[in-house]
Amino acid sequence: MADIQIYTSGSGNWSKPAGCKIVRLFLIGGGGGGAGGTSAASATGAPGGGGGGGGGFIEAVFQASDVGNTEAYAVGAAGTAGSAGANGGNGGNSTFGGTTVSQHTAYGGGGGVNGAAGGNTFGGGGAGLSGAAATSTGGTNGGVNGVSNSTASNYGRGGSAGGGSGGPGGVQGGITFWSGAGGGGGGGKTSTPTYTDGGPGGTSGNIGFLSGTLPAIARKRSGYGTVPFPLQIGLTAGSGGDGGAASATVAENGTVGTYGGGGGGGGATITGGTAGAGGAGGSGAIIVISE
């Protein structure tokens, strides 16, 4: 039977099981937090907060002899939720190794951006394969920049960007296959005024360590062929949080992303109302399978 260790918070040391031959590593970086919504006068548009960007994903397979008896790990923290009128926080990096095997890193997604009255907001950038994202800048080698009033998708292993939002409804967060998806943009207030819904969070095709039988592509990648996965691991990866709806009184908050997913942006409101806060990003995760 495989020895499976799952870490979803904190840091420490992983210990190599005696007699194992292969060590498989899966890392997800933390998702960026969604930004809070904006308030504005009746005749001025107010944007909802931008969704957070998704954390990146990497995998690696080692011979057991290449890995130390212990290796350090640290799980990337979730990007913090932005309060009304504030940006979301960047997600943290997830790391493994550095004792014998070189340190491997899955970078965090960028926090969503809060926009000024009458303007637009930007979703946080998705993490890159070679670098973390900032609030509106994609990470190096694979990240996608946050965008205004447009979806942004990344089918690679960098994280996907969060949705932006202007006066119209919030934009859906970017979708992804392997990594963390972007959070949806918060709903905006138009100059009419009308109040719009937030965008849905982006979806992820999941990373392949789901409960039950693996999808065909993941079975091929993992080396298990057509054999069902031996244990239920119980993690799905990367969906972004939904953006909150705008309101004349109390706008909705964005919702939280799952592992590596960006948080949704908060909804906008009219002056005198209460704008919504963003949702926190999903924390990172680390899975180490020894056989």
Would you list the domain boundaries of the chain?
Answer: 1-125+135-291
Question: What's the rounded Cα separation, in Å, for the pair 109 and 237?
Answer: 14
pLDDT for residue 82: 95
pLDDT for residue 227: 35
Query: Residues near 18 by Cβ (< 8 Å), separated by ≥ 6?
Result: none
Which pTM was predicted? 0.86
Question: What's the rounded Cα separation, in Å, for the pair 35 and 253?
Answer: 10
| Cis? peptide before 228, omega within 30° of 0 | no
pLDDT for residue 50: 87
For 247-275, what is the mean pLDDT? 93
For 262-280, what is the mean pLDDT? 94
pLDDT higher than threshold 80 for residue 52: yes
pLDDT digits 0-9 by tens, 71-83: 999 999 999 999 9
Q: Which residue has the higher pLDDT, 250 or 145?
A: 250
Measured CA distances, 165 to 115, 197, 240, 254 (Å): 9, 10, 15, 13
Query: Residues near 151 by Cβ (< 8 Å), separated by ≥ 6?
Result: 163, 171, 172, 173, 174, 175
pLDDT for residue 200: 86
pLDDT for residue 124: 82
pLDDT higher than threshold 70 for residue 153: no
Question: What's the rounded Cα separation, in Å, for the pair 109 and 260?
Answer: 8
pLDDT for residue 94: 96
pLDDT for residue 130: 78
Do residues 129 and 156 make contact, with C-beta atoms less than 8 angstroms apart?
yes
Q: Which residue has the higher pLDDT, 235 or 288?
A: 288
Least confident of 52-56, 100-104, 140-144, 277-281: 140-144
Tokens of 169: 């409804």
For 165-181, what is the mean pLDDT? 70
Least confident of 4-13, 134-143, 204-213: 204-213
Q: With cut-offs at 50, 70 and 90, classify the pLDDT of residue 112.
A: confident
pLDDT for residue 214: 38
